[in-house]
């Protein structure tokens, strides 16, 4: 729990220094993208610290491409 709090504090500090500069330059879209990515990264990092199993994205890609691969193999025969 303490590691998770430290991680949140670290990401908050990073955002504290980056977002004002983006706001000064009127980069509203970049602020949104930065915030969404930071939130995603924070959640993943906290999950990893707490040993929550995180699925491998390559497995999802392999499942999605498998029917296409079978179709191409069948057409070559």
Q: How confident is the model at residue 1 (pLDDT cuts 50, 70, 90)?
A: confident
**Long-range contacts, stretch 6-10, CB < 8 angstroms, 24+ apart:** 7/42, 7/45, 7/46, 7/49, 8/42, 8/46
State pLDDT tens for residues 7-49.
Answer: 999 999 999 999 999 999 999 999 999 999 999 999 999 999 9
Residue 12: predicted pLDDT = 93
Q: How open is the CA angle 42-23-30, to the nearest 5 degrees?
A: 55
| pLDDT higher than threshold 70 for residue 77 | no
- Name the token pair of 42: 């924070």
pTM of the model: 0.69
DSSP for 19-34, written as a single string:
HHHHHHTT-HHHHHHH
């Amino acid at each position: 729990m303490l590691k998770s709090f430290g991680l949140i504090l670290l990401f908050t500090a990073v955002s504290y220094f980056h977002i004002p500069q983006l706001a000064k330059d009127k980069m509203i879209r970049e602020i949104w993208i930065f915030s969404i990515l930071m939130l995603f990264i924070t959640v993943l990092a906290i999950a990893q610290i707490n040993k929550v199993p995180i699925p491998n994205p390559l497995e999802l890609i392999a499942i999605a491409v498998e029917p296409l691969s079978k179709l191409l193999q069948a057409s070559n025969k």
